Amino acid sequence: MKNNHRVLMGMLIIVLVILAACGNSPDESSTPADNDSENNNVTQDTKEEASNSDSKENASNTDNTNTDVSDQENKDTNKKVDTSDNVPAKEEAPSTNHTEGNLKEEYLQKLKDAKKETEELEATDSSTYALKKVENDRWEIWDELLNEIYGKLKEQLPPEEMDELREEQRKWIEYRDDNALKASLKYKGGTQEHLEYVAVLANLTEERCFELVEEYMK
């Protein structure tokens, strides 16, 4: 009987041990799962934090990059402005005697053209009226050019020189008219009287044009 009792007690103990082991097994098995879940959550949170951190760093780097680019663009713009401001303005070339000399050459050419034009004038016939028409046209051409030359000299010459030239021109006009009159008196009363008068006016005015350009114009 004692032996049977011991066997039953041993079996009961074994059963209790087994039951105790089975009761602890679900908790223990659930613990790793919970641990895995927690670990996964931690890993996920860590990843999210790392991702957020990277995003913030990237955003910060982007802002810095934009700032640097903006600063660089401002610097470049300032450089361009400074460069533009520092470019010296073109200086106007001062008037020289060479430029004035070109004016003299220009009017010498005008005189040559006028002389050629007057030499090509021809009377339509041999009548006194036609001849007078040619001389009148010659005088008008030279007189117009004389006035133009005189106006240029008024702009070019100093006041003192211009005063002297003005007085000289008055005397020349008297000289021209007197000589034209004297030449016409040879034909006083004749048909050629007025023709000679106008012809002398044209000839003396032509000479005066060349004289003013060659002696006074610069």
Query: Which pLDDT does position 173 carry in this prediction?
Result: 97
The larger pLDDT score, comparing residue 67 to residue 128, is at: 128
Taking each helix axis from N to C end, the angle separating 97-119 and 193-215, rounded to the nearest 10 degrees, works out to 160
Q: Token digits for 215?
A: 């002696």
Q: What is the pLDDT of residue 66?
A: 43
pLDDT at 9: 74
Which pLDDT score is estimated for 10? 72
**Does 165 reside within a domain?**
yes
The reply to whether 35 falls in a domain is: no
Higher pLDDT, 5 or 134: 134
CA 136 to CA 121: how far, in whole Å?
Answer: 11
Report the CATH number that the domain containing residue 102 is assigned in CATH.
1.20.1270
Is residue 180 domain-resident?
yes
User: What digits encode the pLDDT tens for the residues 91-113?
Assistant: 443 343 445 458 999 999 999 99
- Mention every residue, 6+ apart, whose C-beta is less than 8 A from residue 107: 149, 152, 213, 217
Task: Determine the structural domain holding residue 209 and report its residue range.
Answer: 98-215
144-153 mean pLDDT: 97
Give a yes or no: residue 68 inside a domain.
Answer: no
pLDDT at 13 over 50: yes
Which residues, 6 or more positions from 143, have their beta carbon under 8 angstroms from its beta carbon?
201, 205
- Residue 15 lies inside a defined structural domain of this protein: no
Amino acid at 110: K
151: pLDDT strictly greater than 80: yes
Query: Can you read off the two tokens belonging to residue 2?
Result: 């004692």
* 33 part of a folded domain: no
Q: Tell me the residue length of the chain.
A: 218
Asked whether residue 183 is domain-assigned, the answer is yes
R_g over Cα of the chain: 60
- Structure confidence by residue, pLDDT tens digits, 79-92: 443 433 443 343 44
pLDDT digits (tens, 9 = 90+) for 16-72: 767 766 654 444 434 434 444 444 443 444 444 444 444 444 444 444 444 443 444
154 located within any domain: yes
| Type of residue at 100 | E
Express as a percent the part of the chain with pLDDT over 70. Answer: 58
Query: What band does 180 get if pLDDT is binned at 50, 70 and 90?
Result: very high
Per-residue pLDDT, 117:
96
Q: What is the pLDDT of residue 175?
A: 97
Least confident of 28-32, 120-124, 196-200, 209-213: 28-32
Q: How many CB atoms lie within 10 A of CB 23?
A: 9
**Number of domains composing the chain:** 1
Angle between helical axes of 97-119 and 128-156 (0-180°, round to 10): 180
